[in-house]
Amino acid sequence: MHPVTSAILSPWTPGLFSFGFFVALVVAALAAVLFLTSWLGDKKTDPEKARPYECGVIPTGWARFRYPVPFYLVAVFFLIFDVEAAFIFSWAVAMGDLSWRGWLQISFFIIVLLLSLFYIWKKGGLDWSPIVPPRPPSQKTRS
């Protein structure tokens, strides 16, 4: 058997034993710290301690307000174009090894992304102004 393979399969290798010992010490220290903090910690509760605290500002109002749809659109567009940038940068790093086949693949990728951008633009996904419904025509009353 190869010496490296036998060292990996042996359960008593020095590196594995020291790693296991280190993990056991960390778990024991963590358990001791958690036990001591729960045992020695202050258990008095009052309304001031139960109040939410945000950077020194006392919160007012309800924290669960609705985000407008454009907020989510910006987040999704950021993710889409951020992933696009990561792919294009990684392609640019390996451009010398990819030749024409890689160039055609990244061109196809960019064309698909541009088509999807134009589709989103056509559907109004980039129009973030509030939509005001049209006013109904005023009707004159007969007197």
Give residue-wise pLDDT tens across range 51-98. Answer: 777 677 776 777 677 777 777 777 778 877 888 888 889 888 988 888
Contact yes or no for 110/99 (Cβ under 8 A) = no
Q: How far is CA 12 from the centre of its chain?
A: 41
> pLDDT band at 111, cuts 50/70/90?
very high
Average pLDDT over residues 98-107: 89
Average pLDDT over residues 3-18: 64
Contact yes or no for 89/106 (Cβ under 8 A) = no
Tokens of 99: 């030749």
In this structure, which long-range contacts are made by residues 73-81, counting pairs with CB atoms below 8 Å and at least 24 apart in sequence? 73/125, 73/128, 77/120, 77/125, 80/113, 80/116, 81/113
Inform me whether the pLDDT recorded for 4 exceeds 60.
no
Short-list 130, 21, 128, CA closest to 71: 128
Q: Write down the pLDDT at residue 64.
A: 73
Contact yes or no for 125/118 (Cβ under 8 A) = no
Q: Write down the pLDDT at residue 29.
A: 98
- Is 0.75 topped by the overall pTM? no
Percent with pLDDT over 70 in the chain: 80
Rounded-to-integer distance, Cα 15 and Cα 21, Å: 10
Short-list 61, 119, 113, 44, CA closest to 83: 113
Rounded-to-integer distance, Cα 8 and Cα 109, Å: 43
* Lowest mean per-residue pLDDT among 37-41, 66-70, 85-89, 103-107: 66-70
